[in-house]
Structure 1
Amino acid sequence: MQVDFYHLTATPLERALPGIAVKVVESGQRLLIVSADAEQRRRIDQLLWSFRPESFLPHAQAGAGNDSLQPVLIGEAVAPANGARHVALIDGEWRDAALAFDRAFHFFGEDSIGAARIAWKGLADRDSVERRYWKQDENGRWAQAA
């Protein structure tokens, strides 16, 4: 199980998440995007339709249709009704339920850095978890820092 911590500094979630979602879907996998914030889920739903004019990323909000058919599902809970093996936690809150997936993307900003540090340390003792920490350089490019 791999957990990627993405520290959002120069690039906002709205620019970082779509690229990861596209890569997951292009690899033939499915993604569950989780946020406790209904407004954030609504914004991400709109964003995934329009982040690039030339792209099409099929997705839906959980409960809006046949969840099992969605390559990308946006929901409040860590419940992969679409059969996802990848999960993106986008509201800055770590959830241990993410450990049931093959890969988790944990996005956090300055407002939730303390909680991210606690999650990072809490995962250190788990043999089956590979942790990676990504931060941005001065040009906004992601670089693995740990």
Structure 2
Amino acid sequence: MQVDFYQLGGTPAEQVIASLAGKLLAQGQRLLVVAEDEALLSRLDRMLWDQGPASFLPHGIAGGTDDARQPILLSTSEDAPNQARNMLIADGVWRDAALSYDRSFFLFDAPTLEGARLAWKLLAGREGVERRYWAQNEGRWSQQA
């Protein structure tokens, strides 16, 4: 299982999430986006709808009747009724449930940096877990570790 740590800088979380989600959808994969903050999920919902017809990302907020059909599901829970094998933690709060997915994305910023460092250390040497750390350099993502 792979965990990708993304340190947010100047790019808003919603943009990074939309980019990652778009890449996963292009590969025919599903995604569960998790955050405790329902306001963040609402902002992300609006952004994904407002991408325009050429870049619309099909998605839904968990709790609807079509959760199982959603390629991208936004939720406050770590459960994936859409059968996603990819989880994205959008609020910078590590959840061990991420380890039950094939691949997880962990987004964090300056206020959640210490928690991200702790999660990085706790996953070090853990059998079956591959960690990657990404940061932005001149607007482009590059793998740092």
TM-score, shorter chain, exceeding 0.5: yes
* 58-67 or 126-135, which deviates more: 58-67
How many Å separate the matches in 2 of 1:107 and 1:87? 11
Instruction: State the match for 2:50 in structure 1.
Output: 50
Indicate whether 1:6 and 2:6 are aligned. Answer: yes
Q: Return the letter of the residue paired with 1:133.
A: Y
Structure 1 unpaired stretches of 5+: none
Q: Give the deviation of 1:65 after TM superposition.
A: 2.6
Q: What is the TM-score when the length of structure 1 is the normalising length?
A: 0.96
1:124-145 CA-to-partner distances (Å, cap 9, x unmatched) read: 02120000000011x2100000
- How many angstroms apart in 2 are the aligned matches of 1:140 and 1:52? 23
Determine the structure 2 residue equivalent to 1:83: 83
Aligned length: 145
- Structural RMSD (CA): 0.9
Provide the C-alpha distance between the structure 1 equivalents of 2:53 and 2:43, rounded to a whole number of angstroms: 17
Structure 2 counterpart of 1:99, which letter? L
Following the alignment from structure 1 to structure 2, what is the Cα–Cα distance between the partners of residues 54 and 6? 26
For the residue of structure 1 that corresponds to 2:107, the secondary structure is: strand
Q: Contact 1:33 / 1:89 at 8 angstroms: preserved in 2?
A: yes
Q: Distance in 1 between matches of 2:28 and 2:81?
A: 17
Q: Could you tell me the percent identity over the aligned residues?
A: 48
Runs of 5+ consecutive residues of structure 2 not aligned to the other structure: none
Q: Does 1:145 align with 2:136?
A: no
Q: Aligned residue for 1:72?
A: 72
TM-score, normalised on structure 2? Answer: 0.97
Deviations 1:88-127 (A, max 9, x none): 0000001000100000000000000000000000000212
SS at match of 1:74: strand
State the one-letter code of the partner of 2:27. Answer: S
Deviation at 1:64, TM superposition (A): 2.0
Whole-angstrom distance in 1 between the partners of 2:9 and 2:15: 12
For the residues of structure 2 that align with 1:77 and 1:68, how far apart are their CA atoms? Answer: 14
Task: State how far apart, in whole Å, the 1-side matches of 2:77 and 2:22 are.
Answer: 21
Deviation at 1:53, TM superposition (A): 5.0
Deviation, structure 1 residue 17: 1.0
DSSP 3-state at the match of 1:5: strand
Matches of 1:72 and 1:44 in 2, distance apart? 11
| Displacement of 1:54 | 1.9
User: What is the correspondence of 1:7-46 to structure 2 with a 5 Å cutoff?
Assistant: 7-46=7-46
